[in-house]
Amino acid sequence: MGDYYGVNVGDIFGTMPSRFRPEGAAGIEAAFGYDIEGEGKWKLSVSGGKMYVEPVDDLSGCDVTLRTDGETFVGLNIGKVDGMQALTAGKMKMDGDFNTFAITGRMFLKFVPPGQTDKPEQELIALKRTISVNQRFATGPVMGKFLQNLREKKILAIKCPSCGRLQSPPREICAPCRVRNTDWVEIGPKGEMRMMEYCYYASPDPLTGETRETPYGAIGILLDGCKGEEVFWHLLRPDQLDKVKMGIVLGDKVVHGSRLRPVWAEDRKGSISDIKYFEMDE
Amino acid sequence: MGHKKNRHVGIVGIGETKFSSHREDVNQPEMIHEAVRQALDDAGITIDDIDCVVHGNMELFEMIHQPDMWHTIGTGAYGKSAFRLTTGGTTGGTLVCAADNLVASGMYDVVMAIGFEKLQEGHTTGGITNMADPLWARKLQSGALTDQAAVKQIAEFGPDRARRAAMTYRIIMDKHACKNPNSHRAFGLDWDQMDDLMTTSPPLIGDLRLIHMCSQSDGACVIIFASEERAKQITDKPVWIRDHITVHREETLNLSNNYYPNATTHRFAAEQLFARNGIDKPLDYFDVFEMYDPSAWWGVDWLRDFFLLEGDEHIRMVENHDIMIDGKMPINPSGGVIAANPIGATAMVRVAEAAKQIRGNAGPHQIPRPVRHGLASSFGGTMWTVLTMLEQDLNW
Amino acid sequence: MNRRVAVCAVAQIKNEPDIWYQRFQGMLLECFESIVRQTGVTFDMEKGIRNVVTCSDDVFDARTISDNGVTDVVGAHFRGEEKMAQDGINGIGYAMSMILSGHDDLVLLMGHCKESQSESRRMCTNLAFDPFYCRPLGLDYRSACGLQARAYMKKSGVTDEHLGRVVVRARRNGNGNPYARKNAPVTETDVLDSPMICDPIRKLHEYPVTDWAMGMLLCSEERVHEFTDKPVWLTGFGNCMDSYFLGDRDLADSSALKKAAKRACAMAGVDDPKTAFDLVELNDAYAYQLPMWAEGVGIAPEGDGGKWIDADGMDAQRVNLSGGMLNGNPIMLGGLARALEAVLQLRGEAGDRQVNGARRALAHGNTGPAGQHHAVVILER
């Protein structure tokens, strides 16, 4: 086994038991694989707040596997290599969700190479704070009417008196015409899928900190009654991500996407979640 | 019609911190101060020569309310006139426009513009998601990530060609970044990695992969602007601001599937700016373009908009490597936004880098030909654009 | 400079404690429509508005890039838009520079703020302080002003009784202003009895939570006649930043304001502020600030704020006939409210508050803790 930065790859695994932080593993039931090119394969099993790591030949039972070379691996562990950079540059690859693998960061104390003093030159202090100020967001009459109608399972669009453009959710003004929107039209509830953002990565909701389960689909639907760019943005039923077809307009060529219909929530409050998601209309 | 400027404005000093993911060794005002010092030294003047400070960033990242107050201890704004303008991702560009307006107006002779961000102090994608309407889009938006640019280009040019073009662009940007000592990220990517990266880089949304996306960086950028008279006293290489245009759009994001020619603010900005300055062929006119490219997919796509091209002319520019530092139309010799993105500073860095190219002292990433006419763009919000023209000589 | 800049039109909704029934977009749209109606201005790229300056605060709006939500209602779709992230009065100075530079002929300035939206404006202003030292102390704008009030009152002989007079007068003046926040009138006894919230600041000394939105159209001299026959000229502007740490400043001496006022007066060619203005609008978020800013701009004798109030200086110099910020304007827009009132006065549209023959006014705004940043605008008929 080779040495990188004066550190042996085996030492990193060998010291895992002594560096383990049970509190960081709370609630985790998973097997993590490490495939270190030229050095070997290791499997880390975490269950019930306990861990077990051993060299193996076969990583097929792992939930997620990290594949990299010895130098990058050691570099990651002693802080010489930035994980995101390595991943982006292709020096590190992940079989499975890289967010899952990131959890291992919480489970172990930092590896300190033997012989290195563990006092850094200057102690850098970081203050961690979560800042939260409660808000009361007004809807105003325009958005208010729209949300009220969602409660009644109706999707409304507002219409520009000048150009006839429909907007849903509605806006107080038609931006290009600079004219107050005044007329209302019911649209959908069914429509054709014109765009899908197949999201493997979810950002946390800034108000709640929650992260949506991935993968999920944020979709743009051309609801019945709408045309051109008048799409309605919402979510797709998670298990249909790979079944739907996206519509496309390219010049005068139109390819139609899957027909979708909304699935309404049982308990509706006048919010975007009154529609749970859209599903294929078959 | 191009407007008659009250008086000319020149860039006389530039400062940029090294962009990195973790500037844990400095707090915000200290980080800004590094760039301020650099800019003042670059110009060979002191803080006493500055009349006015213009400051900006995206404050909800660091969750500081009116940060220009605290940052006074690093900006040197004490006793001076001071403004703060913020427009999200375009902030850096807006600050350049503002400094230009303030000096050109005659109200101030020497203005220092400061853009910065310390993204590691907050949650970047969460912060960006916070720009969406709390009643609706906030539940749907995934920060600045979108697959729309890829979907569009794949439909128009086919999956293979489109994906290769985006990756080619990415690798070129990385090669430029490797020459720029200030880059946050410079991987040393090579052509033989192209196929591998196209399939193994973790996907974020659809065809948008991690490798395509810009970084999240900490950093500050400072540019000092002076009136023509003062500029000529301060330096023998002022870089003149010829004109600038800002084009925003409503917050509703339409379907970018409505393909070219579609109404983007980029194209509109380019059309308006070049027409009023009598420039028919921007591709021939400019010697460098520092484009705000948050992702490789957008980078390729927007070349067509900014240079007012048709069909696949822009893709051929990428395929032929025309956009390389020694190519016909160097794009982002600095490595661009994919290499470093301290959001409040990023757009200003584009102007700073274009100016350095014109001065001829950009460093290892200097374009190996005379650079007289520069173009810099900013991006932010819901597909907003700021476009700025820089000149070596007062030739208009 | 051979161009002048004028205000062609102003628009506002009523200042209210809680505009729960409208969101920002609705509030601004009313002002937008009013400006367009009054002036007939278009957004044509050659002859119309090409650039808008907005004013709002991301923390108070709880929204990153708070201008993003309102781009459409301020007419900025496919036009320029730049957000002034300080008190909007600085937007006036910035818009002036846009026109004086030759870059634009017309600039639309629009501002919005809802103090009622967040659970606590003090939690918001606490975030203006550095996270390491001042913020954990619990400093917010109110407590910073408390420190300043104590220092100033001692220096200038301003007493609790004086402050009582200031508040009573503010509410009485506000009552005569149809756009001012409607507050219950109070007596001096009410004020003196009102509980201390941050000694020496009493509850009634503090401006109440307010929501508001406004708009203003600025234009170059050559084209002003297209939009109004009552232009109000912006002849002077100045702003100035003080130091950050409260301990580094002489809190009782508004040095930044003095510099800002000097800069504005120099630009406008005003030699003696005491006699130059027919009316003065000062941004008094707290009662002690009225005499303090009066000293700072030079209309009250230095160190004699108390005596100035005793000598009826406030009425004699026609200060804050609108009710001032003390009667209720939101943070970020206080200075704009002052400037807007000055415009109405100079156009002869100030109703019962009208100063006859008003020709020149001073409007003031400030940003940051205890007036760290001040701005002054001089307007003339």
Chain A residues within an 8 Å CB radius of B120: none
A126 assigned to some structural domain: no
Tens digit of each residue's pLDDT (9 = 90 or more) over C151-200: 999 999 999 999 999 999 999 999 999 999 999 999 999 999 999 999 99
Pairwise CB contact (< 8 Å): A138 & C23:
yes
Query: What tokens were used for A88?
Result: 């982006």
Query: Looking at beta carbons, which residues of chain C come within 8 Å of B85?
Result: 82-85, 94
In this complex, do B131 and C65 lie within 8 Å of one another by their Cβ atoms?
A: yes
Number of A/B CB contacts below 8 angstroms equals: 141
CB proximity under 8 Å: C 122-161 to A = 123-124, 127, 131-132
* B39 touches B14 (CB < 8 A): yes
Q: Say which of B136, B185, B259 has its CB closest to residue A169.
A: B136
**C-alpha closest to that of C74 among C24, C120, C122, C119:** C24
Cβ distance C62 to A135 less than 8 Å, yes or no, reads yes
Subunits with 3+ C-beta pairs closer than 8 A to B: A, C
The pLDDT confidence band at residue A113, using thresholds 50, 70 and 90, is confident
Lowest-confidence region among A110-124, A191-205, A246-260, B267-281: A110-124
Q: Pick from A86, A107, A128: which residue ends a domain?
A: A107
Residue of higher predicted confidence among C81 and A75: C81
**Does C304 reach chain B within 8 Å, measured CB to CB?**
no
Boundary residue ending a domain (A107, A127, A149): A107
Q: Note whether A66 contacts B: Cβ–Cβ < 8 A.
A: no
Q: Does B59 contact C59 at a Cβ distance shorter than 8 Å?
A: yes
Taking an 8 Å cut-off on Cβ atoms, the answer to whether B63 and A85 are in contact is no
Q: Would you say residue C70 lies in a domain?
A: yes
Predicted local distance difference test score (pLDDT) of residue A116: 63
Quote the pLDDT of residue B258: 52
Interface residue of A68, A201, A223 to substitute, partner B, most B CBs within 10 Å = A201
Q: What is the pLDDT of residue A282?
A: 84
| Secondary element (H or E) of residue A101 | helix A98-102
* Pair (A100, A190) in one structural domain: no
pLDDT at A120 over 60: no
Helices (H) and strands (E) in chain A, counts: 7, 19
Contact check, Cβ <8 Å, B206/A197: yes
Name the residue with higher pLDDT: B135 or A148.
A148
Query: What's the complex ipTM?
Result: 0.96
Residue A131: pLDDT band (50, 70, 90) is confident
Q: Is the pLDDT of residue A229 over 90?
A: no
Beta strand B208-209 with B203-205: parallel, antiparallel or unpaired? antiparallel
Q: Which chains touch C (3 or more CB pairs under 8 A)?
A: A, B
pLDDT at C315: 97
Q: Which residues of A touch C43 (CB under 8 A)?
A: 178
Residue A207's pLDDT is 62
On the CB side of B240, how many CA atoms lie within 13 Å of its CA? 16
Residue B127 · residue B141 · CB < 8 Å: no
Q: What is the pLDDT of residues A39-66, one digit of tens each?
A: 999 999 999 889 999 999 999 889 899 9
Domains and CATH numbers, chain B: 9-125+217-234 (3.40.47.10), 144-211+242-390 (3.40.47.10)
CATH number at residue C86: 3.40.47.10
Q: Does C25 touch chain A (CB under 8 A)?
A: yes
- Domain count of the fold of chain C: 1
- Tell me the average pLDDT of chain A: 88
| Confidence (pLDDT) at B257 | 47
Quick one: A149 and A273 in the same domain?
yes
Query: Which residues of C are less than 8 Å from B87 in CB distance?
Result: 65, 67, 81-83
**Residues of chain B below pLDDT 50:** 257
pLDDT band at A135 (very low <50, low <70, confident <90, very high): confident
Q: What is the distance in angstroms between the CA of the first residue and the CA of the last residue of chain C?
A: 19
Percentage of chain A surpassing pLDDT 90? 50
Q: Chain A partners of B147 at a C-beta cutoff of 8 Å?
A: 196-198
Tokens of A41: 């394969």
- Residue A203: is its pLDDT beyond 80? no
Q: How far is A206 from chain B (nearest CA, A)?
A: 5
Contact C22 A138 (CB under 8 A): yes
Task: Kindly state whether A120 is in contact with chain B, defined as any CB-CB distance less than 8 angstroms.
Answer: no
Contact A171 C36 (CB under 8 A): no
The beta-carbon neighbor of B246 closest among C51, C102, C127 is C51
pTM equals 0.92
Mean pLDDT across A55-84: 88
Q: Supply the pLDDT for residue B292.
A: 96
Q: What is the pLDDT of residue C2?
A: 61
Chosen from A128, A181, A193, A195 to mutate, greatest number of chain B CBs within 10 A: A195
Sequence-distant (6+) residues with CB within 8 A of B17 are B23, B31, B34, B35, B38, B182, B218, B219, B220, B221
Q: Are residues A186 and A261 in the same domain?
A: yes
Q: Which of C301, C293, C290, C282 is nearest to C253 (CA)?
A: C293
* Cross-chain CB nearest to A90 (options B136, B200, B204): B200
Report DSSP state, residue C319. B
Band of residue A211 on the pLDDT scale cut at 50, 70, 90: confident
Closest CA to A1 of A30, A50, A39, A57: A39
Q: Is residue C248 part of a domain?
A: no
Any domain includes A150: yes
Q: Does C377 touch chain B (CB under 8 A)?
A: no
C221 in any annotated domain: yes
Give the pLDDT score at A209: 67
Does residue A72 lie within any of the structural domains? Answer: yes
Q: Tell me, yes or no, whether A231 and A175 share the same domain.
A: yes
One domain, residues A158 and A31: no
Mutation site for C-interface testing, chosen from A124, A133, A134, A143 by largest number of C Cβ within 10 Å: A133
C228–A contact, CB cutoff 8 A:
no
In chain A, the number of structural domains is 2
% of chain B surpassing 90 pLDDT: 75
> Each residue's pLDDT tens digit in chain C (381 positions)?
468 999 999 999 999 999 999 999 999 999 999 999 999 999 999 999 999 999 999 999 988 889 999 999 999 999 999 999 999 999 999 999 999 999 999 999 999 999 999 999 999 999 999 999 999 999 999 999 999 999 999 999 999 999 999 999 999 999 999 999 999 999 999 999 999 999 999 999 999 999 999 999 999 999 999 999 999 999 999 999 999 999 999 999 999 999 999 999 999 999 999 999 999 999 999 999 999 999 999 999 999 999 999 999 999 999 999 999 999 999 999 999 999 999 999 999 999 999 999 999 999 999 999 999 999 999 999
Name the residue among B135, B140, B147 with its Cβ closest to that of A233: B140
- The answer to whether residue C125 is domain-embedded is no
Q: Give the largest Cα separation in chain A, rounded.
A: 76
* A45: containing domain: 3-107
**Residue contacts between A and C (CB atoms, under 8 Å):** 69
Residue B321 identity (one-letter amino acid): H
Residues A48, A144, single domain; the answer is no
CB B297 within 8 A of CB B314: no
Report yes or no: A198 at the B interface, CB cutoff 8 Å.
yes
Buried b vs exposed e over C131-170: b needs ≥16 C-beta within 10 Å? Answer: beebbeeebbbbbbbbbbbbbbbebbbbebebbbbbbbbb
- The answer to the question of residue A116 being in a domain is no
> Number of C-alpha atoms within 13 angstroms, CB side, residue B210?
24
Q: Choose the closest CB to A249 out of B127, B143, B258.
A: B258
Q: Which chains does chain A touch, 3 or more C-beta pairs < 8 A?
A: B, C
Nearest chain A Cα distance for residue C78, angstroms: 8
Which among B92, B112, B100 is positioned nearest to B351, based on CA atoms?
Answer: B92
Helices B148-157, B296-306: inter-axial angle, 10-degree rounding: 70
Candidate from B123, B253, B258 with C-beta closest to A228: B258
Q: Tell whether A153 is covered by a domain.
A: yes
pLDDT in tens, C351-378: 999 999 999 999 999 999 999 999 999 9
Residue A18 lies in a domain: yes
The span from the CA of A251 to the CA of B152, in Å, is 12
Q: Given a cut of 70, is residue A206 above it in pLDDT? A: no
What CATH number does residue A46 fall under? 3.30.1050.10
Give the closest residue to B352 by CA, choosing from B79, B139, B121, B92. B92
Chain centre distance of CA B263: 21
Whether residues B252 and A167 touch (CB distance < 8 A) is answered with yes
Cβ contacts of A171 within 8 Å, gap of 6 or more: A142, A158, A181, B250, B252, C25, C72
> Which residue among B25, B136, B193 places its CB closest to the CB of A272?
B136
For helices C289-297 and C255-268, give the axis angle rounded to 10 degrees: 50
CA-nearest of B161, B174, B248 to B213 is: B174
Residue C195: predicted pLDDT? 98
The parent domain of residue C98 ranges over 5-119+209-226
Mutate to test the interface with A, among B26, B129, B252, B253 (most CBs of A within 10 A): B252
Question: Would residue C45 count as lying in a domain?
Answer: yes
